[in-house]
């Protein structure tokens, strides 16, 4: 069987050295499907990096309008190719074709690209600042270096290395992208790369601005991550993989934005349980099992009082979990890691109430609920915060508000933290919110954490170890773009040498901070704000 080509240096070409190859696996059956793809060697990685570096300055100097046109055209191409993309992603991931891929994930993918285009046209991501008295001007600008992006397994479209938020952000900041596709969905990634390549050429941007490799050895990846020619790294995946990449990047001083692991704690307060416990159990079940629980914001730890309402919640949830069919996981690796995580939680004192086992055919796992008392949890909190990526969650039962606060105080950094309180305000959520706030990126009230809205106000990030840096978001324009930017300052520089958004004449209703005030007008004579 012919091995599929790579996108390197603006062309589709055969791998230079590929000792290995692979095919996608249908997770529902465990059978190999589709064409054969190469596992790249060192020469392919170097070729991709060299060619990306060669166009970095040209792309950085490209008119913003051309970047925006590319993003818009690419978004439209994805929408136009929806049927093919959905079919490929469904075959490779077993995610529901209609309810998940066609109606949610694909529209989200194209919307992210369009929002990035909007941020480019408005210069919103550049955050221009002007100090007329000091003669200083500053903004966020391209890195003039490539960005290396690692795509995850769980979002074949919306987080794909060649189409997702990391990709859109890096390109919006006018940086070339080296996309490392995930081997769980290579054909989907290939199709997206084809569409991106065509849109690049249509927009008149350097063809080598987007490059894609399907897979490569971990050691080669670490070597690439510490190459000083890189400008930044974006990664979504496991904690072990993210930390290894970050350690490598740190050696070369390369900014590495890692979205890694999170158990997304949920706290159910007594009044809320008494008021609507059955409905909350249904919400929890749906959140934990949708997509077989393979979300970064899956509710992996739920804190439930030891009272009658709490017992009723657990009973209802157990019935729902018991009746649910096994969830299909993305790969054998995901299945094995989930089984190991559940086993580790049991080893540290958790009791498995339902599930806790794989089931055939393919890569399936029974929806799983474990339980432990807060007293036991607090003896080994670090060990019992292990992420069980899949349709699994740990219930922590508390005797009183003090234990609930103690559990919250013991938590590592997470992407989200959720509080459910009574609608009449009888539950005092303030103490818990105060404890959770510095431990989570997004604080949620009265709804399950699964799902990340594509919004400028979204923070899909959080304190370590959920991410490598608490000050960034992987979703939401323009904030996500600034990860892949450099802060440039101009001191007493003539107007003609300044970027458009820092010149005296406003390029078009751009919001600029001038002498401490946000304005969108031109600067008057003598570089002072217009009256």
Q: Which residues are catalytic?
A: 259, 296
Q: How far apart are the C-alpha atoms of 16 and 12, rounded to whole Å?
A: 12
Q: At what angle do helices 308-323 and 270-289 cross, to 10 degrees?
A: 10
CA atoms within 13 A on the CB side of 41: 8
Residues 306, 283: Cα–Cα separation, whole Å:
20
State how far the Cα of 508 lies from the Cα of 516, in Å rounded to an integer: 20
C-alpha span between 220 and 157 (Å, rounded): 25
Q: At what angle do helices 239-251 and 218-225 cross, to 10 degrees?
A: 40
* 83 contact partners, CB below 8 Å, separation of at least 6: none
- Which tokens belong to 63? 């008119």
Q: How far is CA 465 from CA 238, 246, 288, 394, 514, in A?
A: 10, 12, 21, 19, 37
Q: Which of 502, 505, 501 is nearest to 525 (CA)?
A: 505
CB 501 within 8 Å of CB 514: no
End-to-end CA distance of the chain: 71
Instruction: Look up residue 226 and give its DSSP letter.
Output: T
Strand 368-373 and strand 351-354: the pairing is: antiparallel
Is the bond leading into 458 cis (omega within 30 degrees of zero)?
Answer: no
Distance CA 222, CA 219 (A): 5
Q: Are 367 and 289 in contact (CB under 8 A)?
A: yes
CA 492, 495, 500, 502 dihedral sign is positive
DSSP assignment letter at 4: P
Closest to 182 (Cα-Cα) out of 207, 165, 157: 157
Asked if 26 contacts 94 with a C-beta cutoff of 8 angstroms, the reply is yes
38 sits in which H/E element: strand 31-39
Q: Report the 10 Å Cβ neighbour count for 456.
A: 16
Q: Where are the beta strands (DSSP E) in 414-500?
A: 414-420, 440-445, 486-491
């Amino acid at each position: 069987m012919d091995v599929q080509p790579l996108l390197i240096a603006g062309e589709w070409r055969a791998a230079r050295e590929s000792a290995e190859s692979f095919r996608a696996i249908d997770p529902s059956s465990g059978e190999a499907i589709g064409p054969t793809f190469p596992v790249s060697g060192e020469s392919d990685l170097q070729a991709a990096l060299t060619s990306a570096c060669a166009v970095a300055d040209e792309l950085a100097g490209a008119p913003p309008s051309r970047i925006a046109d590319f993003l818009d055209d690419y978004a439209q191409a994805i929408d136009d190719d929806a049927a093919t993309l959905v079919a490929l992603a469904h075959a490779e991931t077993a995610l529901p074709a209609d309810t998940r891929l066609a109606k949610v994930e694909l529209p989200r993918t194209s919307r992210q690209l369009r929002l990035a285009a909007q941020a480019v046209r408005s210069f919103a991501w550049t955050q221009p600042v002007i100090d007329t008295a000091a003669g200083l001007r500053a903004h966020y600008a391209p890195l003039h270096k490539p960005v290396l992006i690692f795509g995850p397994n769980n979002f074949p479209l919306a987080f794909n290395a060649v189409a997702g938020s990391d990709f859109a952000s890096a390109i919006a900041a006018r940086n070339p992208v080296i996309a490392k596709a995930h081997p769980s969905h290579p054909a989907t990634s290939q199709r997206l790369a084809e569409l991106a390549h065509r849109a690049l050429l249509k927009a008149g941007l350097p063809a080598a601005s987007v490059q894609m490799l399907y897979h490569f050895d971990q050691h080669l990846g670490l070597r690439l991550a510490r190459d000083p020619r890189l400008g930044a790294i974006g990664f979504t995946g496991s904690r072990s993989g993210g930390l290894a990449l970050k350690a490598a990047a740190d050696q070369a001083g390369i900014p590495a934005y890692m979205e890694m692991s999170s158990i997304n704690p949920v706290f159910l307060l007594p009044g809320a349980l008494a008021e609507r416990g059955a409905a909350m159990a249904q919400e929890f079940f749906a959140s934990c099992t949708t997509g077989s629980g393979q979300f970064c914001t899956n509710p992996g730890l739920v804190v439930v009082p030891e009272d009658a309402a709490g017992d009723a919640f657990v009973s209802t949830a157990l019935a729902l979990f018991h009746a649910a069919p096994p969830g299909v996981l993305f790969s054998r690796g995901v299945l094995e890691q989930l089984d190991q995580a559940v086993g580790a939680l049991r080893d540290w004192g958790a009791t498995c109430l339902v599930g806790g086992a794989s089931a055939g055919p393919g890569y399936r796992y029974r929806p799983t609920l474990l339980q432990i008392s807060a007293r036991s949890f607090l003896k080994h909190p670090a060990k019992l915060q292990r992420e069980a990526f899949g349709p699994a969650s740990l219930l922590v039962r508390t005797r009183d508000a003090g234990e609930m606060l103690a559990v919250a105080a013991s938590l590592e950094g997470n992407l989200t933290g959720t509080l459910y309180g009574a609608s009449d305000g009888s539950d005092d959520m303030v103490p818990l919110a105060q404890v959770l706030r510095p431990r989570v990126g997004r604080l949620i009230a009265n709804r399950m954490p699964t799902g990340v809205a594509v919004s400028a106000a979204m923070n899909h990030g959080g304190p370590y170890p959920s991410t490598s840096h608490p000050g960034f978001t992987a979703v939401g324009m323009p904030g996500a773009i600034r990860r892949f930017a450099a802060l440039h300052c101009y001191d007493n520089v003539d107007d003609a040498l300044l970027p458009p958004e820092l010149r005296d004449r406003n390029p078009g209703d751009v919001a600029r901070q001038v002498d401490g005030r946000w304005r969108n007008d031109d600067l008057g004579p003598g570089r002072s704000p217009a009256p």
